[in-house]
Each structure stands twice: as C-alpha cells, then as structure tokens.
Amino acid sequence: MKILVALKRVADPANHNKVKIPAAGDKIDTAGLEWQINPFDLYALETALRLTEDGKAPKTRLGEVVAVTLGPAETETNLRSALATGADRAIRVDTTDDALDGRLVAAALQKLVEEEKPDLVLMGKQVVDGENNYVGQALAELLDWPMATFAATIKEEAGGLLVGREVDGGVSTLRVKFPAVVTVDLRIVAPDSVRSSKTAEGFKYPYEEVRFAPLPAIMQAKKKPLAVKKLADLVGGATLSSKYVKFEAPPARKAGVKVKDVQELVQKLATEAKAI
Amino acid sequence: MIEWGEQHLAIRDAFRRFVDAEIKPRREELEHGDTPPYEVLRKMFVTFGLRDMSLMRYEADLAKADKAADGSDEKVGKANPMAGEMAAMQMIPIIELSRHSPGMVTALGVSAGLTAGTIMSRGTRAQKERWAKDLLTLDTIGAWAITEPGSGSDAFGQMKASARRVEGGYVLNGNKTFITNGPWADTIVFICKLDEGNDPKDRKVLSFVLEKGMKGLDQTKPFRKMGMHSSPTGELFLSDVFVEKDRLLGETEEVSYRTGAKDTFKSERTGVVAMALGIVQQCLDLSVEYAKTRVQFGRPIGDFQLIQLKLAKMEVARMNIQNLVFRIIELAGAGKAMTLAEASACKLYCAQTATEVALEAVQLFGGNGYTAEYPVEQLARDAKVLQIYGGTDEIQISQIARSLLG
Ligand SMILES: Cc1cc2nc3c(=O)[nH]c(=O)nc-3n(C[C@H](O)[C@H](O)[C@H](O)COP(=O)(O)OP(=O)(O)OC[C@H]3O[C@@H](n4cnc5c(N)ncnc54)[C@H](O)[C@@H]3O)c2cc1C
Ligand SMILES: Cc1cc2nc3c(=O)[nH]c(=O)nc-3n(C[C@H](O)[C@H](O)[C@H](O)COP(=O)(O)OP(=O)(O)OC[C@H]3O[C@@H](n4cnc5c(N)ncnc54)[C@H](O)[C@@H]3O)c2cc1C
C-alpha cells in the first residue's frame, strides 16, 4: 500500500501563552515560537506506519509512506523528523503560511496525489492552530474519492478500509474503497486501533502515542529522499479565496470575588451568574 | 563543533518527550520511593534503539580486540567522525536525563559504562561474552566496587579486600561501601589485593567478577543519602567467597588493576561534564521562568540587579560547560582523548559549578526553592555528589597540580 501523509507544522501548543498579537490585530506574531508537527497529523503518520508493517517487525516495510508538507525551508526539520519516525520519502512544497488557505492546500495536494498515485491519503482531522477541519474533505471532493473523517479505528481489507468513527452515542463503521482520503482522530493511536492486512490476530502495540524515532534513524533521516516543489508549479496562479482579517486574544480573566458564606454564594450564583 | 546540529536537536527533543512521558510522572516513586531506576532505563534503551546500538558496538569492540591481538588494527588515533557522533549520541541523553534525574544517569553510567567497560577492557573474550554483553544491553545490572570503609580517595593504598589462592581458584574477603547499584546488581566487579603473605603495599591489585546470590556475598539495602535518590547505593560484604579462576578479569595475575585505571577515571570524569550541563541548563531555565513570573515589591524579581547577576552567572556557566561538551565530542571525532589532568580539570570545574548554580537557583526561588515541591531543591542535593564521587575535588586538584609541577 502506498500512503501519502499530509503534515503541517504548528506552534507548540504548550507554548500558547507565548503567542502575541500585534496592536493592528491583522496577524499573529510568530517570532520566538517553537514549532512541531500538528499532533493529529502525527497520529496520521503513526497510522500510515502501522498500515505498512505487521507490528511485530516494524523494520520490515510492507508499503510506502510519503510525508508531505507545505511550508518554508525550516519545515524540512519537521519532514526529517517524520522520516526518522519511519516515513520512506518526503516532499516539501515551498511556500509560506500566509500564502495559503485550505482551498489552496487541498488543490496542491490534489496535484501531488495525481503525481504520486497513492492508495490512501491520511491526515489529521484538523490542525490545532487554525482548527478549520477543512483540507481532508476538500481534497476528497477535488479528487472525487471516498472519504472517512474522524477515524478512530482502521482495518485494512481487500481493496479498501473498514473505518470506525466515534460519533455521539456510539461508533459508526464505514467501508471505503481505495483510493480514499481518511482523516484521523486521537484514538487512532490506541494499541489496537489500526490493523494492516499483515497485523497478527490479537497483536497490540505497546504504546498509545506516536512512536519514538530510534537514534540511528534520526541520524540517517538525512539520507532519505526529500524533494522540493514550487507551489506555483502545482496550483498555477491560483490565489487565496479566503483571508484572515482580524485576530483577538481572549479577554484577560477578571479577578474573582470572595463571598462570606454559603448563602451569599447561592444568592450570587442565582442572581449574578444565573447558573442556578 | 560550535553548536548542536539539527539531528542533535532532534535527538534532544525525542529524549525530552520520553522524560515527560516516562520519568516526570514517576518522579515521586523514583526519588522518594523504593522503585529502582532500571525498568525505565531499559524502556529507554529499547525505545531509542540504544540496546541495538550497544550490541553493535559490543560486536565491533570484540572484533577490534581480535585485530589488536593479531596486530592488524590500524585505526588507533585516526580521525573518525562517526566516533564523534557516537559521543554526541551518548552525551545528549545524559544531559536530558540529568535535567530531571541525575541519579538515573549515575545508575546507568556505573552499570553499562563503568562495570561493562571494565570487563570489556580487561576481560578475556569469554568473560566479555559471559558478562559484558548483558550489561551493555541493560539485561543485567552491574556494580563496580573499589571503595571501602577505610579506603576512599586513597583507594589502593589502604585497600583491605583480599584474594587468596586456593585449590582451583581464589577465596575473596572484604567490605565495600558506597557501591552504586550494589543493592540490586546481578554482576559485580570486585577490586582487591592478592594476599601472598607479603607487605600490603607491595601486593598486586586484581579484579574479579561476582554474581548475585554467590555463597558468602551479601548485598545490603540502599543507604539514605543527601541526593541521587534514584541511584541505589549500598554495601557489599564478602566472607570467604570462593571463585574459580575464570572469574579473575583477564585470567592472569600479571596485569595489575593499577595499570589502565586512568582510562576508567577519564571516562567517568567526562561523563560528569554532561551531567553538569543538564543540571545547570535546567536550573537556568527554571530560574529564568521564575524570575519573570515571581513578583515582589511590585515587580518581577528579574528586574532586580542581584537576581540578574545570578542569571548571568548561570548563563556563563552553561556556556562554559557546553563548550567542554563540544570539545569532548570533537576530540572523539578526531580520534584523540583528553589527558588525565585535563579530564580532572573538566570534572573539577563542572562539579563545582553545577553545585554553585543549583544552590543559587534554590536561593533565587526563595522559600519555594527550599521545598521538595520545586525541582531545584533536588538538583542542588544531587549536584553535590559530583564533587565527591569519581575522585573528590581535592583529588582532582592534586592531579592537576601534579601534571603542572611535574
Ligand atoms: C553516591 C555515591 C556513589 C558512589 N559510587 C561508588 C561506586 O559505585 N563504586 C565505588 O567503588 N565507590 C563509589 N563511591 C565512593 C566514592 O568514590 C568515594 O566516596 C570517594 O572516592 C571519596 O572517598 P571517601 O568517601 O572515602 O572520602 P575520603 O577519601 O575519606 O575523603 C574525605 C575528605 O578528605 C579529602 N582528602 C582525602 N585525601 C586527600 C588528600 N590527599 N589531599 C587533600 N584532601 C584529601 C577528600 O577530598 C574529602 O574531602 C560512591 C560515593 C557516593 C557518595
Ligand atoms: C523552612 C522555612 C521556614 C519558614 N518559616 C516561616 C515562618 O515560620 N513564618 C513565616 O512567616 N515565614 C516563614 N518562612 C518564609 C520565609 O521568611 C520566606 O521564604 C523568605 O522571607 C523569602 O520569601 P519568599 O520565599 O517569598 O522569596 P521571594 O521574596 O519571592 O524571593 C525570591 C528571590 O528574590 C530575591 N529578592 C526579592 N526581593 C528582592 C529585591 N528587592 N532585590 C533583590 N532580590 C530580591 C530574594 O532574595 C530571593 O532570592 C519560612 C521559609 C522556609 C523555607
């Protein structure tokens, strides 16, 4: 199986208190932020690796995983980290975040898919910075491929996948035929969420997160192929169809009030907070 | 080497993730409970492929020893960039672990470094296969025992532990103390003097390999100590322990333990440099954050010059120690090694500086810094031992002076 995994770098969510918005409010000041791959995209990478191995002997690859990102040269660090984790090849589309919107990303991925011809495109259900939940669905539409979103379990079958999606009150299972687009949710990295055609009955991964890259793999990631493409070569002169116009930080929390007894608390909850 | 490369930073980040997931949540049981550090260390070894790398290095070292034995070894002293990378790959985990648990580094270093290293450099091929291989992979835990109640800095001079020749082997006696991993060790390198009825100061120093459960060998419970709580330290008592000759390291009485002891000291001392960097870096990071957020007299305490002086001194220390780490990596890549005096100078500076920085961090944290709730308290207790084990500050000073004065 050949899988294309789309990755986006985001500011480290643990650093969110370092995010600054200039007075004009027209952008986010990214100076000094640390970057990492969007967590849901890392789950997609882990899913792709599990689908191309039997679990017991992860060094034996049973397919190909191509990691793709759209971004400036610095994002090659993130791609190399994906290569160290186990991806076989990587492609960077040279551009910057402010030159992109979801539609352009989907259009660029569409062209890459047409070139690479994967059986499956995997990505996170959304990025934790923009939280748009957009690109997967848009890509499936552009390709006219079957799609499953918010995947919590995936089982490979002949010619397709059985995808479990957690929905309010239960699990809905759907069958998609290859080629397909699947976006993953967090539970996809549970020990037995993903089963390739070769995963042994009853096998469970000993971890429920994205695997660690062994040190030799980190050292050798530089030797794996990493191709760079120009955005314009993929999407021609296409321009942004949506634009961020304003950013606002959440209002600073107001200091609390002290109440002298339970009666006053109940009274304030009823009259001021209107919580009871 | 002037800065960490992208791959080094990737390794660093991977270890940080591991520490966050596996060590921080267990800090209480590792530092204040009875849980030994070995399971977490084993998990770390497997997760990062260190176990496989150790096996590869083991095979390579065996092959190298075979070549050296038949005289066809040509690599000695030649530049070897791979060796530099290996050194970096060894030091980054030490630095990252030392930010949170220098004790785990001590336990690891004594087992897979000192004990396995001693067997690899002094043992016969059969002895390496029998004991060193499992130590290098952490399948077994090792201890290395030289210190005695009556002999510490003057380790060889006052050594009472003895070996007597008997039919089929030797009988060993003696008490060893402050032995890292002593309480749990599966494999122990025991250093003693050969008693031939001669004057103790003329006796040969030999080393033997012992195993847990041998008749006459007693391994005590861990001591309560100031710091390094996650590194179990205990005593060993030997009374008439019989060993066959195949447990004598090198299987010859002709190579004294005194020769080549310098190499052991050197690698111990350079390990302290990486530990010190982890401690200093962590204290600095925590202190900067605290100085920005702790408000007194209506301002963050970082606004006060006296606090700025502390931070500036910590940063100077961090730069100096990091440069020493880079030098060690560069030397390894160039196929060179520090002299014993240089290794002593490094250890002296790093041990003293780590202790000073950690105590200044406690000071900067005020009352909070004195409580176990804040990690600078632990780091200050842990740092202190760097000035004591692996040769005390005073012993390092005398070695530096000896090399200066000739
Ligand atoms: C946590 C920990 C782990 C250890 N792990 C091990 C281990 O795994 N294996 C092992 O064999 N040992 C181990 N040791 C022992 C360690 O190596 C010794 O503690 C150290 O060598 C000092 O010896 P000592 O404690 O007997 O002190 P002493 O030698 O009694 O020294 C007392 C003081 O006198 C000073 N002094 C001694 N001689 C001189 C001199 N000539 N000139 C000036 N000052 C001098 C010393 O510097 C020191 O300040 C460990 C110790 C600790 C604390
Ligand atoms: C074991 C223990 C017992 C205690 N017992 C009691 C007790 O019984 N009753 C009680 O009321 N308190 C007690 N205390 C609290 C103690 O008095 C405070 O910890 C101490 O006054 C320091 O205050 P702080 O911890 O808030 O540190 P901070 O005031 O936050 O100081 C943090 C750091 O900033 C420095 N700093 C602050 N202001 C300045 C400045 N203007 N210029 C330069 N540097 C500055 C400090 O010197 C320190 O290095 C105790 C503390 C401890 C650790």
pLDDT at position A268: 87
User: Is A266 within a domain?
Assistant: yes
pLDDT at B173 (0 to 100): 98
> A65 lies in a domain?
yes
Residue span of the structural domain in which A219 resides? 2-271
Q: Contact A148/A165 with Cβ under 8 angstroms?
A: yes
Q: What is the C-alpha separation between B331 and B328, in angstroms, rounded? A: 5
CA distance B268 to chain A (A): 23
pTM across the whole model: 0.91
User: Domains, chain B, ranges and CATH?
Assistant: 6-140 (1.10.540), 143-251 (2.40.110.10), 261-405 (1.20.140.10)
> What's the average model confidence in pLDDT over B313-328?
98
**Percent share of chain A, pLDDT over 70:** 99
Residues B50-57 have a mean pLDDT of 93
Beta bridge partners of residue A167, listed in sequence order: A170
- Check if B268 is active-site: yes
Ligand 2 lined by B405 (C-beta under 6 Å): no
Could you tell me the distance, in angstroms and rounded to a whole number, from the CA of residue B377 to the centre of ligand 2? Answer: 15
Q: What are phi and psi of A269, to 5 degrees?
A: -60, -35
Cβ–Cβ gap A212/B48 under 8 Å: yes
Could you tell me the pLDDT band of residue A252, with boundaries at 50, 70 and 90? confident
Q: Give distance in angstroms: CA of B385 to centre of ligand 2.
A: 27
Q: From the CB of B124, is ligand 2 less than 6 Å away?
A: no
Which chain B residues contact residue A77 at CB under 8 A?
Answer: 6, 10
pLDDT band at B74 (very low <50, low <70, confident <90, very high): low
B404 pocket-lining for ligand 2 (C-beta < 6 Å): no
Cα of B385 vs centre of ligand 1, distance in Å, is 10
Query: Which ligand 1 atom sits nearest the alpha carbon of residue B392?
Result: 47
Annotated catalytic residue within B268, B342, B360, B377: B268
Say which of B7, B13, B50 has its CB closest to residue A219: B7
pLDDT of the residue at B73 = 58
Q: Please name every residue paired with A183 in a beta bridge, in sequence order, or none if there are none.
A: A123
**Residue B172 predicted with pLDDT over 70:** yes
Report pLDDT digits (tens) over A10-51: 988 777 677 888 888 888 888 888 889 999 999 999 999 999
- CATH number reported for the structural domain that contains residue A256 in this entry: 3.40.50.620
In a domain, residue A48? The reply is yes
Chain B residues in contact with A222 by the CB 8 A cut-off are 7
What pLDDT is stored for residue A49 in this prediction?
97
Q: Which residues contact B28 (CB under 8 A, 6 or more apart)?
A: none
Does the structure show a pLDDT above 80 at B75? no
CA distance A255 to A21: 23
Residue A143 lies in a domain: yes
Structural domains in chain A (count): 1
User: Which is more confidently placed, A275 or A192?
Assistant: A192
Determine if ligand 1 sits within 6 Å of the CB of residue B397.
no
Q: Which two tokens stand for residue A245?
A: 């116009």
Task: Output the six-digit token pair for B327.
Answer: 């030098």
Q: What is the pLDDT of residues B279-300, one digit of tens each?
A: 999 999 999 999 999 999 999 9
Q: Which residues contact B277 (CB under 8 A, 6 or more apart)?
A: B95, B98, B318, B321, B322, B325, B350
Ligand 2, residue B364: give the atom nearest the CA.
Answer: 49
- What would the mean pLDDT of A77-92 be, rounded to a whole number? 96
Flag whether A276 is in a domain: no
Looking at the CA of residue B114, tell me the nearest atom of ligand 1: 8
Q: What is the mean pLDDT of chain A?
A: 92
Percentage of residues of chain B with pLDDT beyond 70: 99
